[in-house]
Amino acid sequence: MVAHSGLLTVMDRAARKAAPRLRRDFNEVQHLQVSRKGPADFVSMADKRAEQTLIEELRKARPDWRILAEEGGELPGDPDKPRFIVDPLDGTTNFLHGIPHFSIAIAVEDPNGSQGKPEITHGLVYQPLTDESFWAEKGRGAWLQDQRLRVSSRRDLSEALIATGIPFMGHGNFAEWSRIFGAVAPEVAGIRRLGSAALDLAWVAAGRFDGYWESDLKPWDVAAGMLLVKEAGGFVTDYRGQDMAMQRNQFLAANDGLHSKLHKLVANALR
């Protein structure tokens, strides 16, 4: 059993404050499905309201920190202090369609990390409908509530369940994704596209998925989840297997035993 730091408590509290309204709005969306106007405007309101609550809570606790939020963009603060990176609703398309799989993601980035470069130090992925709180602190491991997380121990691709994000209208590189899919799918036990990048990564950390790939994401989709995977003993790289995932906007995550096998398949497919 481990207690999280004061900062993680702030993040967890903020997510839990935003969650009840999101849950209510999600139930409402299921009713709106049948109306002719459709629930799209309603969902974008729910999204904005959740972000507002998160920002208020985070600001209350750390008034001088910057916040990068999906809807509101960059909110100013002290450039020498860390900043919060917030996705109030990851899995919007699921939410809109009444599919119960979405999350709130909050990360903290220290502008002067261990190598003098910006570094993610805290990450939280909270799933309002299951009340699961996945969290990680740099150097202190990854956790689901008070249970330590460890990536899966599967070593054979033939047993691996791999998550991905499929490009969609106006978003991502379908030709590239298809080549990777063509190389990976025949080798593994299954591929899933569940629709929340933050949860995909959290589930790699939790050993539910053995690996994950996706490109063209935003920092708020992946910042918290990447720390979760690393702190759970897994790897997150770009498609060439280098520590440049954010810079290249390519995310290849897997447990320690499968990452190099998966990376070889992906790198070959893109050659």
Kindly list the residues in this chain that would bind Ca ion in the complex (CB under 5 A): 70, 87, 89-90, 221
Is 72 exposed, middle or buried (CB count within 10 Å of its CB: 0-12, 13-18, 19+)? Answer: middle
Q: Of 264, 201, 266, give the one whose Cα is nearest residue 234.
A: 201
Q: Does 69 bind ligand IPD (CB under 6 A)?
A: no
The count of residues interacting with ligand IPD (CB under 6 A) is 12
How many residues comprise the chain?
271
Residue 91 binding partner per list ligand IPD, Ca ion, none, with a CB distance cut-off of 5 to 8 Å that depends on partner kind: ligand IPD
Nearer to Ca ion, 87 or 238 (CB): 87
Q: What's the CA gap between 256 and 172, in Å, rounded?
A: 27
CA distance linking residue 176 with residue 172, whole number of Å: 9
What minimum distance in Å lies between the beta carbon of 23 and ligand IPD?
A: 17
Cβ(205)–Cβ(134) below 8 Å:
yes
To ligand IPD, the closest distance from the beta carbon of 260 in angstroms equals 25
* Residue list 186-225, contact with ligand IPD (CB under 6 A): 195-197, 214, 217, 221
Residues numbered 14-33 forming contacts with ligand IPD, rule: CB under 6 A: none
Tokens describing residue 122: 């805290």
CB 5 within 8 A of CB 137: yes
Amino acid at 183: A
C-alpha to C-alpha distance for 99 and 82, rounded to whole angstroms: 34
The answer to whether 157 and 34 have CB atoms below 8 angstroms apart is no
195 binds, among ligand IPD, Ca ion, none (CB under 5 to 8 A by kind): ligand IPD
Residue 50 has φ and ψ, to the nearest 5°, of: -60, -45
Compute the least distance from the CB of residue 169 to ligand IPD, in Å.
11
How would DSSP label each residue in 160-197?
-EEEE---BTTBS-HHHHHHHHHHHGGGSSEEE--S-H
Are 116 and 209 contacting, i.e. CB atoms less than 8 angstroms apart?
Answer: no
Nearest residue to ligand IPD, using CB? Answer: 165
Residue number with CB closer to Ca ion (90 or 214) = 90
Chain positions 91 to 110 lying near ligand IPD, rule: CB under 6 A, are: 91-92
Residue 196 near which of Ca ion, ligand IPD, none (CB within 5-8 Å, type-dependent): ligand IPD
Indicate the residue among 67 and 89 with the shorter CB distance to Ca ion: 89
Q: Is 165 in the site for ligand IPD (CB under 6 A)?
A: yes
Q: Residue 120: name its binding partner from ligand IPD, Ca ion, none (Cβ under 5 to 8 Å by kind).
A: none
Of 74 and 78, the one with the shorter C-beta distance to ligand IPD is 74
Interface stretch with ligand IPD, choices 6-14, 20-28, 87-95, 256-264 (CB under 6 A): 87-95
Confirm or reject binding of residue 87 to ligand IPD (CB under 6 A). Answer: yes
Q: Burial of 116 by CB count in 10 Å (0-12 exposed, 13-18 middle, 19+ buried)? A: exposed
- 128 touches ligand IPD (CB under 6 A): no
Q: Which residues bind ligand IPD (CB under 6 A)?
A: 87, 89-92, 165, 195-197, 214, 217, 221
